[in-house]
Amino acid sequence: MENLPQLLHEHMEAHHRGQGRAIPRDELLRNFVWPLAGNDMDDREFRKLYGQLPVAGCARGLFIPATPFELKEFKGYLLKKGMSEEAAQKRIDIILRFYPKLDWRVPDQVQGELFGRP
Q: Is residue 24 part of a domain?
A: yes
Q: Is residue 34 part of a domain?
A: yes
Q: Is residue 58 part of a domain?
A: yes
At 78 the pLDDT is 97
The answer to whether 28 touches 41, Cβ cutoff 8 Å, is no
Whole-model pTM: value is 0.86
Give me the residues of the chain with pLDDT under 50, please. 109-114, 117
* Number of domains making up the chain: 1
Q: Is residue 107 part of a domain?
A: no
The two beta strands, 56-58 and 61-63, are antiparallel
At 109 the pLDDT is 46
At 68 the pLDDT is 95
Write out the residue range of the structural domain in which residue 8 sits: 4-102
Q: Is residue 60 part of a domain?
A: yes
Q: Rounded to whole angstroms, how far apart are CA atoms 20 and 23?
A: 9
CA dihedral 24, 102, 13, 5 (to 10 degrees): -80
At 108 the pLDDT is 59
SS (H, E, C) the chain: CCCHHHHHHHHHHHHCECHHHCECHHHHHHHHHHHHHCCCCCHHHHHHHHHCCCCEEECCEEEECCCHHHHHHHHHHHHHCCCCHHHHHHHHHHHHHHCHHHCCCCCCCCHHHHCCCC
